[in-house]
Each structure stands twice: as C-alpha cells, then as structure tokens.
C-alpha cells in the first residue's frame, strides 16, 4: 500500500520515540522488534517536502540501520499526469509513515515469479524510494531541513532495478540493503514507470517516450536535494543498475540532463548500447502502433486525440494489451528511444548511444562493467514457456538482435541470419543453442564492446568483470528451479543485495567468512564499497588487484570463486565471440 500520513495524535510522540531509541545500547539488534512499526517513531528525517518516519532494522553483522520505505520522490502520475514528466511533490505538515514499501508500478511479471512479492500491492501511484541509512550516519536532529552542503556525509549507492523495462521494483525482497548498509553506505532503491507508462513513445509532447528515464533523473535530483537529511553526501553518489536497469544507468551517463547528479556507475549485465533492445524511433513506432491497435485506437489519429483516449482508458485494458504483446516479444515491448525535441520535456537521449559514446559522452565517469558466465540460463523457464525453439523455426529472422535489425538494410538480414546460424546453431536448433547465443549476443558482447570503446577514447577508468561463481545456495537457481554450471543473469547482484524473499529472515552475523557464499558476499561488497570511496574497486591491501580495462588487449576480472579471482586478458573464447559480432556489425553496414 502507499505510504500514509501518521495521525496527528501520534506525531506528538515521534520525537520522543526517536530520542529514546537513539539512547538504547547497541550491543545487538532484535529483528522481530525492529521490523514492525512502533507506537512511536523509531527514526525521523526531514525531507524538503516534510518529515518522514522510518524504522530501525537489522543488517548484517548485527548492525542496526534506519530504513525509510515508500517515500514519494515526486507527485504520483495519476489522471492527466499519466504520461507527463513527474511533477514536484506537494508539502505535507504531519509525519509521513515510511515504515513499509509502497506499491510496485503496473506490470506483468514474466521472470521473477515468487522472488518479487509485491507486498505493497501494485498501482500507478508507485513513485517511491527506499532509503536505507547506517544508524550512526543519520543526523541527530530532524528539527530543520539539512543544507545541500553536507559534504561530510556518507557515500550513497543508488540502484536502478532490472526487468526488461517492463517489470520489477526496488523492493527489499530481491534488493535487500543488509549487506551494503552494514559497511557504512546509504543504499537507495526506487520504482520508476515501466512498460506502457514508462516507455511508450508516440513522438509527441504528450507521449514523448523515455518517461521511465526521466523518472530516474527526477529521483537523482531528489537525492541531491534530500541526501543531507539522511546523513548522505549529495556530491558522492554512485549510480548502479542491473540488466535493463544497467542500460538505464548507462544511458544516463550519456545525457546532459544528469550532469553533476552522480560521480561513478556500476553496470551489471546491461549497457545502453545493448543488443536486446533498439533505440530506433522506427522500432518505437512499430511497437506503439501494435499496442494502439490492441487497445482499439487508430494509430493515424492526431497525437492529442490518442493521448486523450489513453489517459481515460482503464488500467486493466492497457495492461491486458501490454501482456499480449509481452507474450509475443518475450521480455521487452517498449524501450528507451532516441528522442525528438518536445516543448516542456527534458530530453534524455538526443542521439544513438553508439554515436554519443564515440563523441566522448560519459568519458569522465568511472565505470564498472560486468557480465555473468551463463547469462541466459536464468531465462530458460521463460523461453520454454514461449516455445522459443518452435518460434525460431517459424520466424528465423528473430535471431537477428533488435539492435542489428533496425540498423540493417532488409536485404542484408538473410546474410546475418546465415552467419548466426553457422556459428551457434545446428540443423536441429535446440534451446541450449539459443541460450548460448542469447548470452553472447545480448550481454557479453555489448559489455566487452563498451569497455573497449571507452578504453579507446580514454578518460576515467573502466573496470570489466566476468562473474562465474555458481554458489553453494544460489537464490536465483533455487527460486527458479534451475540447475546449470556457473552464474546466470541476476546472480552477481545477489551477493551485493540480500534476496530476502528466498533466504528468509536474517539471522546471525551473515558476513562472517563461514563458507564460500559468505566470502563472495564479502568480496563483491568490498569491491562496491571501495569503488564508491576511491573510484577503484580493489580493496586496500588486497593482493588480487583489479587493473583498468585498457588496449590493446582488454583485461577482465574473472571471478570464479572467492579463491579463484584472476585479472587477465580476454580468453580465446571471448575474443572469438567479439570478433564474430564485430563481423556481423560490419556486414550489417555492407562493409
């Protein structure tokens, strides 16, 4: 449910509760006592819009932290605001109850299943952030608004969730902050508009596309303005994302709209110049026309008339049409698009991402770029549900990636298809074949190419990694009933965020080195924390250094286990893969 206002009657007790709790001894933390709302407020912060009441929770190593969940960062996009850029919050005078997460944005989940639980429900009124703060970092008083000059605050980790631009959330069921917050950093996760609401583009000022990206910019501006209220340093923000969320994070590094809003970026299994979606306006129009036909709107109508009908249309009609298309497309229907300029709309992507990278956009922002060893194994159940093998047999051209499809003359597509089939498929075309191709085409190649392009341009350092640790108790494999060697999509972030929906209540000192899973958590969180503090992921005193990715031969941090971490040049298999896809791109341009 949405965050609600604590009654005026309770407000008188809030400051007393905060002071009393702060005075308690911190010899340990009682999860059962701290994870439910109290009769008085555990912890308070004063944002620009008003005071928020959070709750103390237990992190790893028996560390307590202040958790503010379901905090709105803009006015909810309801009614006439459905497709508009987010509007500033109205101020409130009472105290906002920020002890539970708000609803997730409207979606059809075709991947996470029980991993994401949507405990707050689902609604268009989903524009909320979750702010998790080391208790000692929280300002001692919330009586006045903190200034923007709190440069002594702790660093901030802002994370953009994945889900193909179609589904997902920032909730703690998958993105539990317990590992990172216990090491002295603020963790912020959030929701942004998805699918139709976040990425449908009619190339008009009423429905311009990229609303989901603009939501992220609004969130980052909110962090800049409100970080000091939570003890954070607004000038020391690290932006991170996974999958589609990583693509979003990378696209934001290429946009003038985000200048000064973050210092560095971490990209887990996704980049803005990826192959699994296309930023082509041609593709955006095809997807929009298909959708409009599904909901009974003529695409040839005036954009103003289309907008009027979409705003008035019941949510169930919109989501039913999107679900139908999602079953056709797989994971992603609407995606970021190169924008035209529209009056009153903040432009995020003003040119093709590859062109922006070549021009040096984002070159001064340190990057960590990563991929897993068996990316698309995580999608095996979804591919089986779609009967992807039969779908390929009926329409082989879908093997050409969305990015390649919309930059290739139609007459060249058969050549690309022949090359792809020659390398990845035998005559029978198995699901295993497709999963191998999907991993290379959609994730590994784009990650390596971005590192290569950044190395060629020069500027801030780039760190590349390949995560292959299969896990003793893999949350993703267990939840999705998967059995394969290595690490699939999402696996790497489960050692940075706690998957609370799968692992259950946190008990004991989970960051003690008791087994390899715990050691990997320590290693991965140490990489993140050190990168946040120094723009270099190698922890101080760590013998296994992580050099930058430089030419002529890119080096990658291969993370196989806590005891098998090596920085070395790309192995022959990866070099051959990169050469193959380079050849595809040359062929697509007639080279």
User: How is residue 55 annotated by DSSP?
Assistant: E
Which of the residues 101, 275, 375, 377 is marked catalytic? 375
Torsion of CA 427, 432, 437, 439, to 10 degrees: 180
How far is residue 432's CA from residue 103's CA, in Å, rounded to a whole number? 37
Q: DSSP assignment of 271-301, as one string?
A: -TT-SSS---HHHHHHHHHHHHHHTT--TTS
Distances (CA, A) of 160 to 55, 217, 249, 381: 23, 11, 7, 24
For residue 123, indicate whether it is catalytic: no
Q: DSSP assignment of 326-342, as one string?
A: HHHHSS-SS---PPPP-
User: How is residue 94 annotated by DSSP?
Assistant: S
User: How is residue 107 annotated by DSSP?
Assistant: -
Paired tokens of 10 = 């309770």
Distances (CA, A) of 522 to 178, 183, 564: 12, 10, 14
User: How is residue 59 annotated by DSSP?
Assistant: -
For residue 489, indicate whether it is catalytic: yes
Paired tokens of 431 = 């699901």
How far is residue 495's CA from residue 561's CA, in Å, rounded to a whole number? 12
Residue 305 CB neighbours (<10 A): 11
Which of the residues 367, 489, 555, 585 is marked catalytic? 489
How far is residue 332's CA from residue 320's CA, in Å, rounded to a whole number? 15
How far is residue 581's CA from residue 513's CA, in Å, rounded to a whole number? 41
Which of the residues 243, 269, 439, 474 is marked catalytic? 243
Distances (CA, A) of 248 to 133, 211, 337, 348, 535: 24, 11, 11, 10, 20
For residue 564, indicate whether it is catalytic: no
Q: Which residues are catalytic?
A: 243, 375, 489
């Amino acid at each position: 449910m949405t965050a609600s206002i604590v009654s005026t009657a309770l407000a008188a007790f809030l400051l007393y509760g905060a002071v009393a709790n702060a005075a308690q001894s911190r010899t340990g933390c009682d999860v059962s006592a701290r994870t439910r709302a109290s009769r008085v407020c555990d912890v308070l912060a004063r944002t620009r819009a008003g005071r928020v009441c959070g709750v103390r929770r237990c992190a790893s190593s028996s560390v307590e932290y202040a958790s503010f969940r379901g905090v709105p960062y803009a006015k909810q996009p309801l009614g006439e605001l459905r497709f508009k850029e987010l509007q500033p919050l109205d101020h409130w005078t009472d105290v906002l109850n920020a002890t539970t997460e708000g609803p997730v944005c409207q979606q059809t989940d075709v991947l996470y299943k029980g991993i994401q639980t949507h405990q707050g429900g689902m609604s268009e009124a989903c524009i909320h952030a979750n702010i998790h703060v080391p208790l000692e970092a929280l300002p001692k008083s919330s009586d006045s608004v903190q200034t923007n000059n709190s440069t002594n605050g702790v660093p901030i980790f802002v994370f953009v969730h994945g889900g193909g631009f179609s589904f997902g959330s920032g909730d703690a069921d998958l993105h539990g902050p317990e590992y990172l917050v216990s090491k002295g950093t603020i963790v912020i996760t959030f929701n942004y508009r998805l699918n139709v609401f976040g990425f449908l583009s009619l190339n008009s000022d009423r429905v311009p596309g990229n609303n989901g990206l603009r939501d992220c910019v609004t969130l980052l501006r909110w962090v800049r303005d409100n970080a000091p209220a939570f003890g954070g340093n607004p000038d020391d923000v690290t932006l991170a994302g996974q999958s589609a969320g990583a693509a979003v994070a990378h696209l934001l590094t290429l946009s003038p709209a985000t200048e000064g809003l973050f210092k560095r970026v971490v990209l887990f299994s996704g980049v803005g110049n990826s192959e699994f979606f296309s930023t082509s306006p041609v593709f955006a129009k095809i997807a929009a026309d298909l959708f409009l036909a599904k909901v009974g709107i003529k695409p040839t109508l005036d954009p103003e008339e289309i907008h009027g009908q979409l705003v008035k249309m019941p949510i169930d009609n919109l989501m039913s049409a999107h679900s139908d298309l999602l079953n056709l497309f797989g994971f992603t229907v609407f995606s970021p698009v190169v924008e035209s300029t529209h009056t009153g709309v903040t432009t995020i992507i003003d040119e093709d991402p590859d062109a922006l990278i070549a021009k040096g956009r984002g070159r001064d922002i340190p990057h960590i770029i990563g991929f897993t060893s068996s990316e698309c194994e995580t999608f095996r159940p979804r591919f089986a549900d779609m009967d992807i093998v039969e779908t390929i047999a009926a329409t082989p051209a879908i093997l050409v990636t969305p990015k390649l499809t919309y930059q290739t003359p139609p007459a060249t597509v058969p050549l690309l298809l022949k090359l792809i089939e020659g390398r990845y498929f035998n005559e029978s075309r198995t699901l295993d074949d497709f999963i191998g191709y999907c991993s290379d085409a959609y994730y590994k190649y784009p990650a390596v190419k971005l590192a290569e392009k950044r190395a060629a341009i020069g500027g801030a350092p780039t760190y590349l990694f390949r995560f292959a640790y299969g896990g003793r108790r893999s949350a993703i494999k267990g939840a999705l009933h998967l059995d394969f060697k290595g690490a699939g999509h999402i696996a790497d972030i489960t050692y940075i965020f706690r998957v609370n929906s799968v692992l259950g209540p946190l008990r004991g000192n989970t960051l003690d080195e008791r087994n390899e899973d715990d050691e990997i958590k320590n290693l991965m969180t140490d990489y993140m924390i050190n990168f946040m503090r120094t723009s270099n992921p190698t922890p101080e005193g760590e013998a296994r250094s992580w050099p930058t990715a430089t030419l002529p031969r890119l080096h990658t941090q291969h993370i196989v286990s806590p005891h098998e971490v090596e920085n070395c040049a790309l192995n022959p298999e990866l070099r051959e893969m990169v050469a193959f896809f380079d050849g595809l791109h040359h062929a697509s341009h007639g080279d």
